[in-house]
């Protein structure tokens, strides 16, 4: 039993690591980061596969953490999906490295490694470079900026050729409507 607990601690601890060559943003201001973000681009992964119109909304939790609500439209099922999670700072509130959970006690890294000067965009990864998100305060970003950011993440070792650029042409249901809403 003791051996299992040691393995479990190491396994879960590895879930909040930082990929080689990536540095979380210092002087991170969580208050400025709160609010709605649009997913402009991502690398494919199972929990967002087939999703468009993806957004994330961050707000303060009563326990000092951050609420996370991700929403997106599943093109195949033609339904809106929503996932609610919670995030906590790994180091301190001034470092853009959080641990986030959507599934009980299991946490993964959420690493903000670049921010626009006015928090108009964010580059985010997780425990390894197979996870990547380009977030923006608006559904689209300037073409030149997008090109510069894609080149930058490719230089950092992310598979920029595999990026999925997210379509935001569909209107999201309001927050008080139920999840899984049929296409309007």
The ranges assigned to domains in the chain are 2-165
* Per-residue confidence (pLDDT) for residue 174, from 0 to 100: 63
- Identify the burial level of 75 via C-beta atoms within 10 angstroms of its C-beta, where 0-12 means exposed, 13-18 middle and 19 or more buried: middle
Query: Would you state the structure tokens that stand for residue 52, as one six-digit string?
Result: 């468009």
| 38 vs 41: CA distance, rounded Å | 9
The model's confidence at residue 180, banded by pLDDT at 50, 70 and 90, is very low
- Residue 101's DSSP bridge partners are 86
pLDDT beyond 80 at 183: no
The per-residue pLDDT of the chain, averaged, comes to: 88
CATH superfamily of 2-165: Calycin beta-barrel core domain (2.40.128.20)
Contacts of 95-101 with C-beta under 8 Å, sequence gap 24+, read 95/24, 95/25, 95/26, 95/28, 96/24, 96/25, 96/26, 96/28, 96/33, 97/16, 97/18, 97/24, 98/66, 99/15, 99/16, 100/68
Q: What is the pLDDT of residues 94-111, one digit of tens each?
A: 999 999 999 888 899 999
pLDDT beyond 70 at 6: no
Dihedral angle, C-alpha 58, 59, 65, 70, nearest 10 °: -30
Q: What is the pLDDT of residues 42-95, one digit of tens each?
A: 999 998 999 999 999 999 999 999 999 999 999 999 999 999 999 999 999 999
The model's confidence at residue 170, banded by pLDDT at 50, 70 and 90, is confident
């Amino acid at each position: 039993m003791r051996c299992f607990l040691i393995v479990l601690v190491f396994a879960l601890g590895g879930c909040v690591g930082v990929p080689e060559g990536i540095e979380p943003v210092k002087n991170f201001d969580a208050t400025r980061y709160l609010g709605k973000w649009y997913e402009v681009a991502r690398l494919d992964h199972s929990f967002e596969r087939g999703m468009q119109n993806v957004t994330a909304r961050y707000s303060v939790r009563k326990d000092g953490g951050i609420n996370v609500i991700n929403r997106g439209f599943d093109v195949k099922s033609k339904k809106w999906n929503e996932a609610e999670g919670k995030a906590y700072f790994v180091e301190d509130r001034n470092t853009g490295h959080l641990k986030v959970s959507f599934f009980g006690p299991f946490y993964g890294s959420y690493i903000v490694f670049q921010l626009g000067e006015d928090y108009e965009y964010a580059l985010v990864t997780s425990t390894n470079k197979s996870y990547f998100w380009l977030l923006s305060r608006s559904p689209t970003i300037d073409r030149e900026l997008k090109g510069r950011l894609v080149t930058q993440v490719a230089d950092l070792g992310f598979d920029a050729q595999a990026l999925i650029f997210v379509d935001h042409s569909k209107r999201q249901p309001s927050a008080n409507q139920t999840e899984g809403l049929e296409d309007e």
